[in-house]
Chains A and B, each alone.
Chain A
Amino acid sequence: EIVLTQSPGTLSLSPGERATLSCRASQSVSSSYLAWYQQKPGQAPRLLIYEASTRATGIPDRFSGGGSGTDFTLTVSRLEPEDFAVYYCQHYGSSTRAFGQGTKVEIK
């Protein structure tokens, strides 16, 4: 079973700053099977990135994903007020799917 560990748990930043979120897998995973979601309070998750680095439809280019093997990263180049939220990484394997515990990006 693959376990995803996200860090940090909370990221305190100001609008305009760069956010770098980490997702580490307990074993090597294919980049084709790694996604990132954003969730705001009271809302459903929103797909940001799939296949580790492909932006979903309508996602601004300030969001980017990268990484391979066991280490993946979501970067928000310049935080906008609407970007303060919880972010989850997800692995989708052949018979299961796993989420990280989430990183909260809060306003400093």
Chain B
Amino acid sequence: EVQLVESGGGLVQPGRSLRLSCTGSGFTFGGSAITWFRQAPGKGLEWVGFIGSEAYGGTIQYAASVQGRFTISRDDSKSIAHLQMSSLKTEDTAVYYCSRGSGWCDYWGHGTLVTVSS
């Protein structure tokens, strides 16, 4: 069974950093792109960025709203991807999801809540 599990969310003050993790199982993690999305409370879905598989050069792309502040990485030996978030703003408050794929995404984690507040 394909599973993706996010972790690392929590309450953080504006300007601080936080790292989210996404652990995959039940599929060839190293052969899959991983995409991060977020959803602010009561709002719609927003693409954050993705990291391609190493076989496709490990391409990384970010949404303009997080470019320069967020960094996506992966460790295929551990079937884990990370979303390093820095210089956090209150508007980054959201549930963060990781998913499999780079375009359409067929499996999603349950999400982890990040609250940016003083």
Take A44-B109, A44-B110, A44-B111 as given contacts and tell me if A99 and B104 are in contact as well, using a CB distance cutoff of 8 Å: no
Which segment, of A15-23, A66-74, A77-85, A89-97, faces chain B? Answer: A89-97
* Closest B residue by C-beta to A51: B104
Write the nearest CB–CB distance from B62 to chain A, whole angstroms. Answer: 9
Categorize the interface residue count of chain B.
10 to 19
Most B Cβ at <10 Å: residue of A39, A44, A102: A44
Instruction: Give the interface SS of chain B, mostly helix, strand, loop or mixed.
Output: loop
Within 8 A of A (CB), among B49-70: 61, 63-64
Which segment, of B12-20, B39-47, B76-84, faces chain A? Answer: B39-47
A46, A99, A102: the one within 8 Å of B47 (CB): A99
CA distance A51 to B101 in the complex (A): 13
* Closest B residue by C-beta to A48: B104
Q: Is B29 an interface residue (CB 8 A)?
A: no
User: Are A35 and B103 in contact, with the CB atoms below 8 A?
Assistant: yes
Categorize the interface residue count of chain A.
20 to 34
CA distance A47 to B97 in the complex (A): 14
User: Are B46 and A99 in contact, with the CB atoms below 8 A?
Assistant: yes
Within 8 A of A (CB), among B80-118: 97, 102-106, 108-111
Q: List 5 A-B contacts (CB under 8 A).
A: A35-B103, A43-B110, A46-B108, A92-B102, A97-B35
Mark B residues whose CB is within 8 Å of A. Answer: 35, 37, 44-47, 61, 63-64, 97, 102-106, 108-111
Beyond known contacts A47-B106, A90-B45: 12 more, CB 8 A cutoff: A37-B45, A39-B45, A44-B108, A45-B108, A47-B105, A50-B104, A50-B106, A92-B103, A97-B47, A97-B63, A99-B46, A100-B44
